[in-house]
Structure 1
Amino acid sequence: MAAEPEVVVEADADQLAANTAARARVTLAAAVQARGVAHLVITGGSILEAVLAAMAEPTDLDWSRVHVWWGDERYVAADSDDRNERPARAKLLDHVPVAADHVHPMPPSDAGFDSVEDAAAAYAADLTALATDGDVPHFDVVLLGIGPDGHCASLFPGHPGPRVSDRAVIAVHDSPKPPPTRISLTFPALDAAEEIWVVASGDGKAEAVARALGGADRVEVPSAGPRGRRRTLWLVDAAAASQLPN
Protein backbone atom coordinates (compact mmCIF):
# COMPACT_ATOMS: atom_id res chain seq x y z
CA MET A 1 0.00 0.00 0.00
CA ALA A 2 1.34 3.41 -0.94
CA ALA A 3 2.37 5.66 1.93
CA GLU A 4 0.75 9.06 2.34
CA PRO A 5 3.17 12.00 2.49
CA GLU A 6 4.86 13.10 5.69
CA VAL A 7 6.38 16.59 5.82
CA VAL A 8 9.61 17.52 7.61
CA VAL A 9 10.52 21.21 7.66
CA GLU A 10 14.13 22.28 8.21
CA ALA A 11 15.26 25.80 9.02
CA ASP A 12 17.26 26.46 5.86
CA ALA A 13 18.89 24.85 2.85
CA ASP A 14 22.11 23.97 4.67
CA GLN A 15 20.29 22.16 7.45
CA LEU A 16 18.02 20.49 4.92
CA ALA A 17 20.95 19.13 2.92
CA ALA A 18 22.87 17.94 5.97
CA ASN A 19 19.92 16.23 7.64
CA THR A 20 18.68 14.64 4.42
CA ALA A 21 22.15 13.24 3.76
CA ALA A 22 22.40 11.85 7.29
CA ARG A 23 18.94 10.30 6.96
CA ALA A 24 19.92 8.73 3.62
CA ARG A 25 23.11 7.20 4.98
CA VAL A 26 21.24 5.64 7.90
CA THR A 27 18.48 4.28 5.66
CA LEU A 28 20.92 2.79 3.15
CA ALA A 29 23.04 1.28 5.92
CA ALA A 30 19.94 -0.39 7.38
CA ALA A 31 19.12 -1.83 3.95
CA VAL A 32 22.65 -3.19 3.58
CA GLN A 33 22.44 -4.77 7.02
CA ALA A 34 19.05 -6.31 6.25
CA ARG A 35 19.60 -7.52 2.68
CA GLY A 36 23.31 -7.18 1.99
CA VAL A 37 22.69 -4.57 -0.71
CA ALA A 38 20.99 -1.20 -1.11
CA HIS A 39 19.65 0.68 -4.12
CA LEU A 40 19.64 4.49 -4.27
CA VAL A 41 17.99 6.57 -7.01
CA ILE A 42 19.21 10.13 -7.52
CA THR A 43 18.16 13.06 -9.68
CA GLY A 44 19.50 16.55 -10.39
CA GLY A 45 19.01 20.04 -8.99
CA SER A 46 20.93 22.37 -6.71
CA ILE A 47 19.53 21.19 -3.39
CA LEU A 48 20.06 17.55 -4.32
CA GLU A 49 23.63 18.31 -5.33
CA ALA A 50 24.10 19.72 -1.84
CA VAL A 51 22.60 16.54 -0.38
CA LEU A 52 24.97 14.38 -2.44
CA ALA A 53 27.95 16.44 -1.32
CA ALA A 54 26.94 15.96 2.32
CA MET A 55 26.49 12.22 1.76
CA ALA A 56 30.17 12.00 0.81
CA GLU A 57 31.21 12.75 4.38
CA PRO A 58 32.80 9.84 6.28
CA THR A 59 30.27 7.29 7.43
CA ASP A 60 29.85 3.68 8.48
CA LEU A 61 27.84 3.01 5.30
CA ASP A 62 29.48 0.29 3.20
CA TRP A 63 29.32 2.01 -0.18
CA SER A 64 30.64 -1.11 -1.91
CA ARG A 65 27.21 -2.64 -1.36
CA VAL A 66 25.21 0.31 -2.71
CA HIS A 67 23.88 0.52 -6.26
CA VAL A 68 23.22 4.02 -7.63
CA TRP A 69 20.61 4.69 -10.31
CA TRP A 70 19.24 7.81 -11.93
CA GLY A 71 15.63 8.95 -11.90
CA ASP A 72 16.13 10.98 -15.04
CA GLU A 73 18.83 12.25 -17.35
CA ARG A 74 19.29 14.76 -20.14
CA TYR A 75 19.89 12.95 -23.44
CA VAL A 76 23.07 14.79 -24.39
CA ALA A 77 26.67 13.75 -25.00
CA ALA A 78 28.55 12.08 -22.17
CA ASP A 79 30.87 15.07 -21.70
CA SER A 80 28.07 17.66 -21.62
CA ASP A 81 27.74 19.87 -18.57
CA ASP A 82 23.99 19.32 -18.84
CA ARG A 83 24.30 15.71 -17.69
CA ASN A 84 22.95 15.00 -14.19
CA GLU A 85 25.65 12.35 -13.98
CA ARG A 86 28.49 14.89 -13.90
CA PRO A 87 27.67 16.69 -10.63
CA ALA A 88 26.65 13.39 -9.05
CA ARG A 89 30.12 12.04 -9.68
CA ALA A 90 31.86 15.26 -8.68
CA LYS A 91 29.86 15.73 -5.47
CA LEU A 92 29.53 12.13 -4.29
CA LEU A 93 30.56 9.18 -6.41
CA ASP A 94 34.17 10.23 -6.92
CA HIS A 95 34.59 10.49 -3.13
CA VAL A 96 33.12 7.22 -1.84
CA PRO A 97 34.22 3.62 -2.47
CA VAL A 98 31.23 2.66 -4.59
CA ALA A 99 31.98 -0.15 -7.03
CA ALA A 100 32.20 0.98 -10.64
CA ASP A 101 29.73 -1.67 -11.77
CA HIS A 102 27.27 -0.51 -9.11
CA VAL A 103 26.91 2.92 -10.74
CA HIS A 104 24.20 2.84 -13.39
CA PRO A 105 24.00 6.10 -15.37
CA MET A 106 21.38 6.53 -18.03
CA PRO A 107 22.82 6.42 -21.57
CA PRO A 108 24.14 9.61 -23.15
CA SER A 109 23.23 10.59 -26.69
CA ASP A 110 26.62 9.45 -28.01
CA ALA A 111 26.34 5.91 -26.59
CA GLY A 112 25.51 4.45 -29.99
CA PHE A 113 21.75 4.02 -29.77
CA ASP A 114 19.63 4.75 -32.82
CA SER A 115 17.14 6.76 -30.79
CA VAL A 116 16.38 7.99 -27.30
CA GLU A 117 13.60 5.38 -27.20
CA ASP A 118 16.20 2.66 -27.70
CA ALA A 119 18.34 4.19 -24.95
CA ALA A 120 15.36 4.24 -22.59
CA ALA A 121 14.62 0.59 -23.40
CA ALA A 122 18.23 -0.32 -22.65
CA TYR A 123 18.03 1.35 -19.24
CA ALA A 124 14.80 -0.49 -18.53
CA ALA A 125 16.63 -3.74 -19.32
CA ASP A 126 19.44 -2.77 -16.93
CA LEU A 127 16.88 -2.22 -14.18
CA THR A 128 15.14 -5.52 -14.82
CA ALA A 129 18.44 -7.39 -14.78
CA LEU A 130 18.86 -6.52 -11.08
CA ALA A 131 15.22 -6.76 -10.13
CA THR A 132 14.14 -9.49 -7.76
CA ASP A 133 10.42 -8.85 -8.15
CA GLY A 134 8.93 -6.81 -10.96
CA ASP A 135 10.59 -4.48 -13.44
CA VAL A 136 12.98 -2.58 -11.17
CA PRO A 137 15.39 -3.39 -8.34
CA HIS A 138 14.41 -3.02 -4.71
CA PHE A 139 14.81 0.77 -4.55
CA ASP A 140 15.43 1.73 -0.93
CA VAL A 141 15.47 5.50 -1.37
CA VAL A 142 14.52 7.69 -4.32
CA LEU A 143 15.69 11.32 -4.05
CA LEU A 144 13.50 13.63 -6.09
CA GLY A 145 13.58 17.37 -6.57
CA ILE A 146 10.63 19.50 -7.57
CA GLY A 147 10.50 22.20 -10.22
CA PRO A 148 8.61 25.48 -9.83
CA ASP A 149 6.10 24.00 -12.29
CA GLY A 150 5.65 20.93 -10.10
CA HIS A 151 7.62 18.50 -12.24
CA CYS A 152 9.71 15.70 -10.77
CA ALA A 153 12.35 13.59 -12.51
CA SER A 154 11.52 14.48 -16.14
CA LEU A 155 7.78 14.04 -15.71
CA PHE A 156 6.32 17.40 -16.72
CA PRO A 157 2.84 18.87 -16.25
CA GLY A 158 0.51 18.03 -19.10
CA HIS A 159 3.11 15.88 -20.88
CA PRO A 160 2.52 12.24 -21.84
CA GLY A 161 5.01 10.93 -19.26
CA PRO A 162 2.80 11.19 -16.15
CA ARG A 163 0.16 9.09 -17.91
CA VAL A 164 2.46 6.16 -18.73
CA SER A 165 1.59 3.06 -16.74
CA ASP A 166 3.06 0.19 -18.76
CA ARG A 167 6.81 0.93 -18.67
CA ALA A 168 9.49 1.71 -16.11
CA VAL A 169 11.50 4.06 -18.35
CA ILE A 170 10.43 6.49 -21.06
CA ALA A 171 11.92 8.83 -23.61
CA VAL A 172 10.89 12.46 -23.11
CA HIS A 173 10.58 14.86 -26.02
CA ASP A 174 9.95 18.62 -26.05
CA SER A 175 10.75 19.15 -22.39
CA PRO A 176 9.65 22.67 -21.35
CA LYS A 177 12.98 22.91 -19.56
CA PRO A 178 16.08 22.54 -21.75
CA PRO A 179 17.59 20.34 -22.97
CA PRO A 180 14.43 19.09 -24.68
CA THR A 181 15.23 15.37 -24.98
CA ARG A 182 15.52 13.26 -21.85
CA ILE A 183 15.08 9.84 -20.27
CA SER A 184 12.97 9.39 -17.15
CA LEU A 185 11.65 6.79 -14.78
CA THR A 186 7.85 6.60 -14.75
CA PHE A 187 5.41 6.59 -11.85
CA PRO A 188 5.26 2.76 -11.82
CA ALA A 189 9.04 2.61 -11.38
CA LEU A 190 9.12 5.34 -8.74
CA ASP A 191 6.17 3.87 -6.85
CA ALA A 192 8.03 0.56 -6.53
CA ALA A 193 10.48 2.22 -4.12
CA GLU A 194 10.41 1.58 -0.41
CA GLU A 195 10.85 5.28 0.29
CA ILE A 196 10.26 8.35 -1.88
CA TRP A 197 11.84 11.58 -0.64
CA VAL A 198 10.94 14.87 -2.32
CA VAL A 199 13.50 17.52 -1.36
CA ALA A 200 12.72 21.20 -1.91
CA SER A 201 14.42 24.43 -0.95
CA GLY A 202 13.60 28.11 -1.46
CA ASP A 203 10.50 30.23 -1.81
CA GLY A 204 10.57 29.69 -5.57
CA LYS A 205 9.36 26.16 -4.88
CA ALA A 206 6.75 27.11 -2.28
CA GLU A 207 3.74 27.28 -4.61
CA ALA A 208 4.59 23.95 -6.25
CA VAL A 209 5.09 22.29 -2.85
CA ALA A 210 1.74 23.60 -1.64
CA ARG A 211 -0.06 22.43 -4.79
CA ALA A 212 1.52 18.98 -4.70
CA LEU A 213 0.71 18.43 -1.04
CA GLY A 214 -2.72 19.99 -1.45
CA GLY A 215 -4.02 17.06 -3.47
CA ALA A 216 -3.30 18.19 -7.03
CA ASP A 217 -3.70 15.70 -9.86
CA ARG A 218 -0.36 14.13 -10.71
CA VAL A 219 -0.79 14.71 -14.43
CA GLU A 220 -0.91 18.46 -13.79
CA VAL A 221 1.51 18.50 -10.83
CA PRO A 222 3.65 15.39 -11.26
CA SER A 223 5.47 15.78 -7.94
CA ALA A 224 2.11 15.07 -6.28
CA GLY A 225 2.27 11.55 -7.71
CA PRO A 226 5.13 9.39 -6.40
CA ARG A 227 4.36 7.31 -3.33
CA GLY A 228 6.80 5.00 -1.58
CA ARG A 229 5.64 1.58 -0.52
CA ARG A 230 6.69 2.20 3.07
CA ARG A 231 7.24 5.93 3.30
CA THR A 232 6.77 9.14 1.33
CA LEU A 233 8.74 12.04 2.80
CA TRP A 234 8.69 15.68 1.81
CA LEU A 235 11.89 17.20 3.16
CA VAL A 236 11.69 20.96 2.74
CA ASP A 237 13.18 24.11 4.20
CA ALA A 238 11.11 26.85 5.80
CA ALA A 239 11.04 28.92 2.62
CA ALA A 240 9.73 26.04 0.49
CA ALA A 241 7.13 25.30 3.17
CA SER A 242 5.96 28.91 3.44
CA GLN A 243 2.67 28.34 1.59
CA LEU A 244 1.69 25.17 3.44
CA PRO A 245 -1.11 25.33 6.01
CA ASN A 246 0.12 25.56 9.58
Structure 2
Amino acid sequence: MRLKNKVAFVTGAGSGIGRAISQKLAVEGAYVAVVDVNSSAAEETVTLITNEGRVAKAFRVDVTLKNDLEDVIRLVVDTWGTIDVLVNNAGTDIKGRIQDYDVKNWERIMDLNLKGVFLVTQAVVKQMLKQQSGKIINISSIAGKTGETFTSPYCASKFGIIGFTQSIALELGPKNITANVICPGPVETELIRNSIAGTAKLNNRSYEEELNAKFLSRTPLGRLAKPEDIANAVSFLSSDEANFITGVSLNVCGGMELH
Protein backbone atom coordinates (compact mmCIF):
# COMPACT_ATOMS: atom_id res chain seq x y z
CA MET A 1 0.00 0.00 0.00
CA ARG A 2 1.38 3.38 -1.05
CA LEU A 3 0.13 5.33 1.96
CA LYS A 4 0.16 2.89 4.85
CA ASN A 5 -0.37 4.75 8.16
CA LYS A 6 -0.23 8.18 6.49
CA VAL A 7 -2.84 10.80 7.39
CA ALA A 8 -4.70 12.55 4.57
CA PHE A 9 -6.84 15.69 4.89
CA VAL A 10 -9.27 15.96 1.95
CA THR A 11 -11.62 18.92 1.47
CA GLY A 12 -14.86 18.74 -0.47
CA ALA A 13 -14.80 15.04 0.35
CA GLY A 14 -18.54 14.50 0.72
CA SER A 15 -19.22 13.77 -2.94
CA GLY A 16 -17.85 13.51 -6.46
CA ILE A 17 -14.10 13.83 -6.94
CA GLY A 18 -13.43 14.40 -3.25
CA ARG A 19 -15.26 11.22 -2.29
CA ALA A 20 -13.34 9.19 -4.89
CA ILE A 21 -10.04 10.66 -3.67
CA SER A 22 -10.88 9.81 -0.06
CA GLN A 23 -11.78 6.25 -0.97
CA LYS A 24 -8.63 5.75 -3.02
CA LEU A 25 -6.29 7.13 -0.35
CA ALA A 26 -7.98 4.92 2.24
CA VAL A 27 -7.52 1.84 0.04
CA GLU A 28 -3.85 2.77 -0.17
CA GLY A 29 -3.65 2.63 3.63
CA ALA A 30 -4.16 6.25 4.67
CA TYR A 31 -6.24 7.44 7.61
CA VAL A 32 -8.54 9.93 5.92
CA ALA A 33 -9.99 13.12 7.38
CA VAL A 34 -13.13 13.52 5.27
CA VAL A 35 -13.73 17.27 5.33
CA ASP A 36 -16.89 18.88 3.97
CA VAL A 37 -19.34 21.65 4.82
CA ASN A 38 -22.11 19.05 4.44
CA SER A 39 -21.74 16.79 7.46
CA SER A 40 -24.19 14.13 6.25
CA ALA A 41 -22.36 13.84 2.92
CA ALA A 42 -19.05 13.52 4.76
CA GLU A 43 -20.50 10.78 6.93
CA GLU A 44 -21.70 8.93 3.82
CA THR A 45 -18.14 8.97 2.47
CA VAL A 46 -16.83 7.68 5.79
CA THR A 47 -19.36 4.85 5.75
CA LEU A 48 -18.26 3.79 2.27
CA ILE A 49 -14.65 3.73 3.45
CA THR A 50 -15.18 1.97 6.76
CA ASN A 51 -17.42 -0.64 5.14
CA GLU A 52 -14.31 -1.67 3.20
CA GLY A 53 -12.34 -2.08 6.42
CA ARG A 54 -10.42 1.20 6.05
CA VAL A 55 -10.07 4.14 8.42
CA ALA A 56 -11.76 7.53 8.03
CA LYS A 57 -13.46 10.18 10.12
CA ALA A 58 -15.80 13.01 9.09
CA PHE A 59 -15.10 16.63 9.96
CA ARG A 60 -17.55 19.41 9.17
CA VAL A 61 -16.02 22.78 8.31
CA ASP A 62 -16.44 25.72 5.96
CA VAL A 63 -12.99 26.13 4.38
CA THR A 64 -13.43 29.90 4.15
CA LEU A 65 -13.52 30.25 7.97
CA LYS A 66 -9.99 30.47 9.36
CA ASN A 67 -10.70 29.84 13.04
CA ASP A 68 -12.97 26.87 12.36
CA LEU A 69 -10.33 25.36 10.10
CA GLU A 70 -7.66 25.64 12.74
CA ASP A 71 -9.94 23.91 15.25
CA VAL A 72 -10.58 21.01 12.86
CA ILE A 73 -6.89 20.61 12.06
CA ARG A 74 -6.12 20.40 15.77
CA LEU A 75 -8.75 17.66 16.07
CA VAL A 76 -7.21 15.71 13.21
CA VAL A 77 -3.72 15.97 14.71
CA ASP A 78 -5.07 15.02 18.14
CA THR A 79 -6.71 11.97 16.54
CA TRP A 80 -3.87 10.67 14.36
CA GLY A 81 -0.76 12.68 15.26
CA THR A 82 0.17 14.11 11.85
CA ILE A 83 -1.14 15.40 8.54
CA ASP A 84 0.99 13.90 5.79
CA VAL A 85 -1.16 14.67 2.76
CA LEU A 86 -3.39 17.67 2.04
CA VAL A 87 -5.82 17.58 -0.87
CA ASN A 88 -7.54 20.91 -1.53
CA ASN A 89 -10.54 19.80 -3.58
CA ALA A 90 -13.48 21.94 -2.38
CA GLY A 91 -14.77 24.23 -5.10
CA THR A 92 -17.75 25.47 -7.08
CA ASP A 93 -18.77 27.16 -10.33
CA ILE A 94 -21.57 29.52 -11.32
CA LYS A 95 -22.08 30.25 -15.02
CA GLY A 96 -22.94 33.64 -16.48
CA ARG A 97 -22.18 36.27 -19.09
CA ILE A 98 -19.56 38.76 -17.93
CA GLN A 99 -21.80 41.79 -18.54
CA ASP A 100 -24.52 40.32 -16.31
CA TYR A 101 -22.40 38.58 -13.69
CA ASP A 102 -23.39 39.20 -10.07
CA VAL A 103 -20.42 40.31 -7.99
CA LYS A 104 -21.75 38.21 -5.10
CA ASN A 105 -21.30 35.10 -7.24
CA TRP A 106 -17.77 36.23 -8.14
CA GLU A 107 -16.98 36.64 -4.45
CA ARG A 108 -18.47 33.25 -3.59
CA ILE A 109 -16.33 31.48 -6.19
CA MET A 110 -13.16 33.33 -5.16
CA ASP A 111 -13.83 32.65 -1.48
CA LEU A 112 -14.33 28.91 -1.90
CA ASN A 113 -12.04 28.11 -4.83
CA LEU A 114 -9.06 30.33 -4.01
CA LYS A 115 -9.27 31.82 -0.53
CA GLY A 116 -10.28 28.40 0.81
CA VAL A 117 -7.20 26.79 -0.74
CA PHE A 118 -5.02 29.49 0.82
CA LEU A 119 -6.56 29.19 4.28
CA VAL A 120 -6.50 25.39 4.43
CA THR A 121 -2.93 25.27 3.13
CA GLN A 122 -1.78 27.95 5.57
CA ALA A 123 -3.24 26.07 8.52
CA VAL A 124 -2.02 22.59 7.50
CA VAL A 125 1.46 23.80 6.56
CA LYS A 126 2.06 24.83 10.16
CA GLN A 127 1.75 21.16 11.10
CA MET A 128 3.80 19.98 8.13
CA LEU A 129 6.61 22.35 9.07
CA LYS A 130 6.72 20.77 12.52
CA GLN A 131 7.03 17.37 10.85
CA GLN A 132 9.48 18.64 8.20
CA SER A 133 7.50 16.69 5.63
CA GLY A 134 4.26 16.75 3.70
CA LYS A 135 2.56 16.58 0.34
CA ILE A 136 0.06 19.17 -0.90
CA ILE A 137 -2.14 18.44 -3.91
CA ASN A 138 -4.41 21.23 -5.11
CA ILE A 139 -7.22 20.50 -7.55
CA SER A 140 -7.37 23.13 -10.28
CA SER A 141 -8.78 22.48 -13.77
CA ILE A 142 -7.81 22.66 -17.41
CA ALA A 143 -9.86 25.87 -17.17
CA GLY A 144 -6.93 27.07 -15.05
CA LYS A 145 -4.72 26.84 -18.14
CA THR A 146 -7.06 27.91 -20.96
CA GLY A 147 -10.11 30.12 -20.55
CA GLU A 148 -13.65 28.90 -21.14
CA THR A 149 -16.77 30.87 -22.04
CA PHE A 150 -19.31 31.98 -19.42
CA THR A 151 -17.07 31.01 -16.51
CA SER A 152 -14.60 33.85 -16.02
CA PRO A 153 -14.60 33.79 -12.19
CA TYR A 154 -14.04 30.03 -12.14
CA CYS A 155 -11.20 30.31 -14.65
CA ALA A 156 -9.62 33.15 -12.67
CA SER A 157 -9.77 31.12 -9.46
CA LYS A 158 -8.30 28.01 -11.10
CA PHE A 159 -5.48 29.98 -12.78
CA GLY A 160 -4.83 31.40 -9.32
CA ILE A 161 -4.49 27.94 -7.76
CA ILE A 162 -1.71 27.07 -10.21
CA GLY A 163 0.25 30.24 -9.45
CA PHE A 164 -0.27 29.82 -5.72
CA THR A 165 0.95 26.23 -5.85
CA GLN A 166 4.05 27.07 -7.85
CA SER A 167 4.92 29.75 -5.29
CA ILE A 168 4.55 27.51 -2.25
CA ALA A 169 6.44 24.71 -4.00
CA LEU A 170 9.46 27.02 -4.16
CA GLU A 171 8.95 28.22 -0.60
CA LEU A 172 8.35 24.86 1.05
CA GLY A 173 10.65 22.61 -0.96
CA PRO A 174 13.63 23.20 1.36
CA LYS A 175 11.41 21.96 4.21
CA ASN A 176 10.73 18.62 2.47
CA ILE A 177 7.17 19.62 1.56
CA THR A 178 6.01 19.19 -2.03
CA ALA A 179 3.13 21.04 -3.68
CA ASN A 180 1.53 20.01 -6.96
CA VAL A 181 -1.62 20.69 -8.96
CA ILE A 182 -3.97 18.34 -10.73
CA CYS A 183 -5.89 19.86 -13.63
CA PRO A 184 -8.88 17.66 -14.45
CA GLY A 185 -10.82 17.94 -17.63
CA PRO A 186 -14.57 17.51 -17.36
CA VAL A 187 -15.40 14.78 -14.84
CA GLU A 188 -18.62 12.79 -14.54
CA THR A 189 -20.00 14.60 -11.49
CA GLU A 190 -23.04 16.66 -10.60
CA LEU A 191 -20.91 19.82 -10.90
CA ILE A 192 -20.04 19.15 -14.55
CA ARG A 193 -23.59 18.11 -15.42
CA ASN A 194 -24.85 21.40 -14.01
CA SER A 195 -22.08 23.24 -15.85
CA ILE A 196 -22.98 21.68 -19.20
CA ALA A 197 -26.66 22.42 -18.66
CA GLY A 198 -25.82 26.04 -17.82
CA THR A 199 -23.66 26.69 -20.88
CA ALA A 200 -26.08 24.79 -23.14
CA LYS A 201 -28.78 27.25 -22.15
CA LEU A 202 -26.51 30.23 -22.78
CA ASN A 203 -25.52 28.82 -26.19
CA ASN A 204 -29.09 27.81 -27.14
CA ARG A 205 -28.08 24.17 -27.55
CA SER A 206 -29.30 20.87 -26.17
CA TYR A 207 -27.37 19.19 -23.37
CA GLU A 208 -26.04 16.54 -25.78
CA GLU A 209 -24.99 19.16 -28.35
CA GLU A 210 -23.17 21.14 -25.68
CA LEU A 211 -21.46 18.05 -24.26
CA ASN A 212 -20.13 17.12 -27.69
CA ALA A 213 -19.20 20.63 -28.82
CA LYS A 214 -17.53 21.71 -25.62
CA PHE A 215 -15.89 18.50 -24.45
CA LEU A 216 -16.13 15.21 -26.34
CA SER A 217 -15.14 16.58 -29.75
CA ARG A 218 -12.03 18.14 -28.16
CA THR A 219 -10.94 15.04 -26.22
CA PRO A 220 -8.75 12.51 -28.09
CA LEU A 221 -9.69 9.74 -25.66
CA GLY A 222 -13.35 10.42 -26.41
CA ARG A 223 -14.96 10.46 -22.97
CA LEU A 224 -15.34 12.44 -19.78
CA ALA A 225 -13.05 11.60 -16.89
CA LYS A 226 -14.30 9.47 -14.05
CA PRO A 227 -13.72 10.63 -10.46
CA GLU A 228 -11.47 7.60 -10.05
CA ASP A 229 -9.15 8.92 -12.79
CA ILE A 230 -8.48 11.99 -10.67
CA ALA A 231 -8.17 9.93 -7.50
CA ASN A 232 -5.49 7.74 -9.08
CA ALA A 233 -3.40 10.80 -9.92
CA VAL A 234 -3.80 12.14 -6.38
CA SER A 235 -2.72 8.80 -4.96
CA PHE A 236 0.49 8.90 -6.98
CA LEU A 237 1.37 12.48 -6.03
CA SER A 238 0.64 11.65 -2.37
CA SER A 239 3.07 8.74 -2.35
CA ASP A 240 6.82 8.32 -1.94
CA GLU A 241 6.96 7.58 -5.67
CA ALA A 242 6.45 11.32 -6.21
CA ASN A 243 9.07 12.52 -3.72
CA PHE A 244 11.04 14.41 -6.38
CA ILE A 245 8.04 16.06 -8.05
CA THR A 246 6.98 19.55 -6.99
CA GLY A 247 5.50 22.63 -8.63
CA VAL A 248 3.95 20.51 -11.39
CA SER A 249 0.49 20.92 -12.93
CA LEU A 250 -0.64 17.49 -14.09
CA ASN A 251 -3.41 17.35 -16.68
CA VAL A 252 -5.90 14.50 -16.25
CA CYS A 253 -8.12 15.25 -19.20
CA GLY A 254 -7.82 12.63 -21.92
CA GLY A 255 -5.68 14.93 -24.05
CA MET A 256 -8.10 17.86 -24.06
CA GLU A 257 -5.36 20.21 -22.80
CA LEU A 258 -1.76 19.64 -23.89
CA HIS A 259 0.29 22.22 -22.00
Tell me which interval the TM-score lies in, with the shorter structure as reference length.
0.3 to 0.5
Higher relative contact order (CA 8 A, sep 6+): 1
With the length of structure 2 as denominator, give the TM-score of the two structures.
0.41
Q: Which has the higher helix share?
A: 2
- Larger CA Rg, structure 1 vs 2: 2
